[in-house]
Structure 1
Amino acid sequence: MDSDTHRAWLDEEGRRLTSFAAAAADPGGGFGWLTADGGLDRDRPTQTWITARMTHVFSLAHLRGEPGAGALADHGLAALRGPLRDHEHGGWFSSADPAATEKAGYEHAFVVLAAASATAAARPGAADLLAEALDVVGTRFWEPREGRCLESWDRTWTEPEPYRGANSNMHMVEAFIAAGDVTGDPAWRQRALSIAERVIHQAAAGNNWRLVEHFDTSWRPLLDYNADAPDHPFRPYGTTVGHWLEWSRLLLHLEAGAADAPAWLLADATTLFDLAVRHGWRADGADGFVYTLDWSDRPVVRPRMHWVVAEAILTAAALHRRTGEARFEEWYRTWWDYAARHLLDRRSGSWHHELDPENRPSASVWSGKPDVYHAYQAVLLPQLPPAPAAAAALRDAG
């Protein structure tokens, strides 16, 4: 895992990903949705989450010395300061579609992440954007009494959505870690730990470690949520195996950056990883992670998503670094072999975003290739320490 040859391969794959992603830069602003062959899908409006993720990726690439990446990060920042921002009421729209007036925590988490990485990369205007984004999140989304974040609001911040989600809170954890490490303000890591303790150490542990994704306004689990829409791309029914892995990794990042980390962070991270492997990998007899499981660990949506394998790679690397156990490196190698065999698209670029249960490219949940965020982190983070966050680590390394 730490060989020079492997690191060179990771670096080459990272450059291949950013080369593909550069085509998403829309002359009209922000980053658009890329099709399977790398063209802009003009039928889809510019999405805030895609623009923010791409800005994050290109900020990291700039910090790594990749020519042209800084200008692409600036392109994303311009959209986040411009058409994607609500200049009247504050905050960020979910997309450039005039009808998309919702203010969602998921998108705001990625605005914070993008602004934090761009600030570490010393991009113009990024520090002001980060300060504004943190103010909005701290004022509108963070609930001190609950120790977690609200899901979404209407445009004027009048009515919060009567729903609470683990997915948006998970990405708030990622964003808060990055913001705390870039700004030096420990309050953001403390908030990240609070979210993790409640969503994982309490709710998931209380559900036999089957991660609960959906809650009501009192944070009571909604186990039948979207049972009639089980393949929803953001709020699927049941439990999402990839999130078990992603949470596992984030717990390790929290532990590594804490002066007096609670012991449950490593224990819970290991439990989530082991259960994801046991119940999600080859759950239907074929290689790959199924998308979702029901509450009896039976596959519900069987297509394989690229981001789940990326998170599996990252989590295996983090656990191997933390524990030294050989089994984690074995899984790391297994999943890179799987990605190389099935996901890396050497003809059209990037990674296939979805495979069917026979590991053939498909598009039942995700069409095209709108995102390199997961794949790019899969090639970068195993080469960095678990703390501080990637952008801060690259900045501090000079």
Structure 2
Amino acid sequence: MTDLQRLLDFAERSAVPGGFGFLGGNGQVIAERPLMTFITARKTHVFGLAQLLGRPGAGELVRHGVEALTDGPLRDAARGGWYATAEDDTKSAYVHAFVVLAGATATVVGAPGGRELLDDALDVWQTRFWDDDAGLAVEEWDAGWTRLSDYRGANANMHGVEASLAAADALGDGDPRAARLRTQALRSTERVVHGWARERAWRLPEHFTPDWTPLPEYNRDEPADPFRPYGVTIGHQFEWARLALHLRAVTPEPPAWLIDDGVALFDAAATRGWAADGADGFPYTLGWDDRVVVGARMHWVLCEAVAAAEAFAGVTGDRRYGDLARRWRAHGEERFADPVTGSWHHELTPDGRVASGTWDGQPDAYHLVQMLLLSEGRPVRGSVAATLR
């Protein structure tokens, strides 16, 4: 079984000046890969969760992450916000959602500068990305905040929901921003899950025009894009389903659709996704006809499937979710677990060979750490940090 402490040992090797780097499968930072804000923010969050578990040295890594996101090369000190990477000065909602998440977890653990990071990141999120008329976040600006991309996406909004719930938990109910953030998260989830996913028989569109008209053919020519793949992304359906439960936990008088739609979205991902091409596992993407488009198996997709199954098992008490979680995790331990690093290979072929068509190395501990923590029978709260706290 994957050991959390050994996984964190591996993740710690990513600490570099200015943040956390991109780890290869050999446990070394890949020097050619630029420093990425989303990886630095995710690792800051992960080490914050480790600090809540009492892991020695985790607090110093959280401090390192906060300092990197506050004073390092990834932050635009003059114009505000965070660059995508040390070599890409675009400013995206996806990246900023993870900076909010990092600031939230750093605040929960009392990291020096954590609350200031959270306040700064929330200010940018609310003023630059949140579109109150749409109830959703816009996608991407240029470095000077002068040109807004025409693209709109569900992926960034999904992580915006996660980050908003985490920030609300970190701020506490005494801060009026907490209620606003939870309301925004509910509005986004209602549009995406209760709206687009339900209307399309639980095949969730990911890509949109500026007025939020779905673009079902987007990236057909680049179907394996790591952030904007063509078609139905199985892992995101599991994530949205689980987030509906986190929302339900912090929403006064939650609407029934949160759990009803979450179940329907989960079941669609599970039944259409598992072994869709005849081989065990979840393919990365399906077409609108439920046929496999990208058959590669991504570790994060399986992690999100297990985490969602565990959450539904706890909330509903239905044994079938626990059975699925155990079955899918056993598949992960057999296929994805890397005995050398203690982490999981990030991409496999359908027959289980290590691949790198979309992801190379093992840079990300976020999905696997959260899966492990949600697999220990903990109750579903607004955020993972709140569950541990």
TM range (shorter): over 0.9
Offset at residue 109 of structure 1 (A): 0.2
Whole-angstrom distance in 2 between the partners of 1:248 and 1:260: 19
Whole-angstrom distance in 2 between the partners of 1:368 and 1:260: 44
Is 1:18 the counterpart of 2:8 in the alignment?
Answer: yes
Is 1:42 the counterpart of 2:36 in the alignment?
Answer: no
> Superposed, which structure 2 residues align to 1:34-183 within 5 Å?
34-82=23-71, 83-97=73-87, 100-183=88-171
Alignment match, 1:3: none
CA distances 1:56-95 after superposition (whole Å, capped 9, x unpaired): 0000101110001111111111110121110111000011
Offset at residue 224 of structure 1 (A): 0.4
CA distances 1:31-50 after superposition (whole Å, capped 9, x unpaired): 00000111110001110000
Whole-angstrom distance in 2 between the partners of 1:388 and 1:107: 21
Contact preservation (8 Å) 1:38, 1:349 = no
Contact preservation (8 Å) 2:166, 2:385 = yes
Offset at residue 278 of structure 1 (A): 1.0
Offset at residue 381 of structure 1 (A): 2.1
Offset at residue 137 of structure 1 (A): 0.2
Whole-angstrom distance in 1 between the partners of 2:374 and 2:141: 33
Alignment match, 1:295: 288
Whole-angstrom distance in 2 between the partners of 1:71 and 1:205: 44
Contact preservation (8 Å) 2:41, 2:101 = yes
Alignment match, 2:381: 387
Alignment match, 2:264: 271
Contact preservation (8 Å) 2:204, 2:237 = yes
CA distances 1:319-355 after superposition (whole Å, capped 9, x unpaired): 1111111111110110111011011101233100011
Offset at residue 394 of structure 1 (A): 2.7
Alignment match, 1:239: 232
What TM-score does the superposition give when structure 2 sets the normalisation length? 0.97
Code of the residue aligned with 2:22 in structure 1: it is W
Whole-angstrom distance in 1 between the partners of 2:233 and 2:329: 21
Code of the residue aligned with 1:181 in structure 2: it is D
Whole-angstrom distance in 1 between the partners of 2:293 and 2:63: 41
Whole-angstrom distance in 2 between the partners of 1:186 and 1:346: 44
Whole-angstrom distance in 1 between the partners of 2:95 and 2:236: 17
Offset at residue 101 of structure 1 (A): 1.2
What TM-score does the superposition give when structure 1 sets the normalisation length? 0.94
Contact preservation (8 Å) 2:96, 2:125 = yes
Q: Tell me, what secondary structure is at the counterpart of 1:300? A: strand
Q: Which runs of 5+ in 2 are unaligned?
A: 173-177
Code of the residue aligned with 2:116 in structure 1: it is D
Whole-angstrom distance in 1 between the partners of 2:255 and 2:51: 35
Alignment match, 1:331: 324
Q: Tell me, what secondary structure is at the counterpart of 2:104? A: helix
Q: RMSD across aligned C-alpha pairs, in angstroms?
A: 1.0
2:333 to 322, 326, 340: 340
CA distances 1:245-297 after superposition (whole Å, capped 9, x unpaired): 01000001101111110000001110011111111110011111000011100
Contact preservation (8 Å) 1:92, 1:108 = yes
Closer/same/farther in 2, CA of residues 224 and 388 from structure 1, 3 Å limit: closer
Contact preservation (8 Å) 2:7, 2:341 = no
Which range moved further: 151-160 or 169-178?
151-160
Whole-angstrom distance in 2 between the partners of 1:344 and 1:117: 27
1:309 to 274, 298, 302: 302
Q: Tell me, what secondary structure is at the counterpart of 2:20? A: coil
Contact preservation (8 Å) 1:37, 1:349 = no
Whole-angstrom distance in 2 between the partners of 1:90 and 1:388: 28
How many residues were matched structurally?
382
1:356 to 349, 354, 357: 349
